[in-house]
Amino acid sequence: MKVVGKVAVITGGARGFGKAFSEALLKRGAKVCFSDIDVSGGQQSQHELAEKFGENSVHFVKCDVTKEEEFRDLFRECLSKFKKINIMVNNAGILDEARWEKSIDVNMTAMMRGTYLALEKMNPKNGGEGGIIINVSSAAGLYPAHFLPAYVATKHGILGFTRSLAMDPLYQSQGIQLASLCPAFTSTNMLTEAIHGDAGGRKTILYPDLAKTIIEKLGICSVADITDAFIELVEKENCNGDVLMINKKIGKQYQFVNKTTSRL
């Protein structure tokens, strides 16, 4: 898709990947409505991005993706400000093995809700223009890891859901494409907290020492590495059904490329 002139909704955009993806789309001439549960972080990012790209290009909305009404309001606000939605990025996510039910709520249920809401708004029958939905999974969506079993389950779920909808001829006929991004370990707050504990010193994963050893072996990506892969997906002529993994050792690698053998 050509990004210039398009409108994107991004969840979890106050920091990390969500902020970097917002900036990359703005740089290419899109308008971005980004959201987060973190109001002060979101406002700070809004200020920075508006200074670079103009007040009329970027809009922050407070949205806890686990609250259905707030999620609906995010879409309403984007449509009222920018009149359309071409790109939806379900990026908000948490890593907290002690709160595995919450992990399912944020990483899985909210991602599904964001996808269904975007499908509704992008449907030409409802005034939409089709579009692209990118769901942020993880290398943990492709590989098991016994230091983060609940997180792994949610990230595998994202792939199953997104790849299934991408097969549906109904959405294809509406000009809607769905793809998944699978970054491996990347230097954001999520990784720092996993290794060192969260702000309160609480462990977010099991066996942090083991995780550290594995991370040292596999290497750590930069946010720029992942943003580059994100933009590649968005700008492809057809990214429908794609699962793009990125890790430090092998770089970008499309998974399940032999789609005929990995589909019904």
Q: Residue 1 is encoded by which pair of tokens? A: 């898709």
User: 3-class SS at 32?
Assistant: strand
- The correct pick among 218, 220, 223, 231 for binding ligand L6NKASHT (CB under 6 A) is 218
Rounded Cα gap, residues 60 and 78, in angstroms: 9
- Which one of ligand L6NKASHT, ligand NAI, none interacts with residue 128, CB within 5 to 8 A by kind? none
Q: Which amino acid is at 105?
A: D
Q: Is 139 in the site for ligand L6NKASHT (CB under 6 A)?
A: yes
Is residue 191 close enough to count as binding ligand NAI by CB under 6 A? yes
Q: Which of residues 115-154 bind ligand NAI (CB under 6 A)?
A: 136, 138
Q: Helix H segments across the chain?
A: 16-27, 39-53, 68-82, 100-103, 110-122, 149-166, 169-173, 189-196, 208-218, 223-235
Please tell me whether residue 165 binds ligand L6NKASHT under the rule CB under 6 A. Answer: no
Contacts of 232 (CB under 8 A, 6+ apart): 244, 252
Question: By CB under 6 A, how many residues form the interface with ligand L6NKASHT?
Answer: 16
What distance in Å separates the CA atoms of residue 228 and residue 243, rounded to the nearest whole number? 15
Query: Six-digit token pair at 73?
Result: 């309001």
Binding-site partner at residue 205 among ligand L6NKASHT, ligand NAI, none, CB < 5 to 8 Å by type: ligand L6NKASHT
Based on the shown chain and the rule CB under 6 A, indicate whether residue 205 belongs to the binding site for ligand L6NKASHT: yes
Among the candidate windows 97-105, 185-193, 227-235, 236-244, which touches ligand L6NKASHT by CB under 6 A?
A: 185-193
**List of residues contacting ligand L6NKASHT (CB under 6 A):** 95, 138-140, 143, 145, 184-185, 190-191, 194, 205, 211, 218, 247, 250
Q: Which residues are designated catalytic?
A: 151
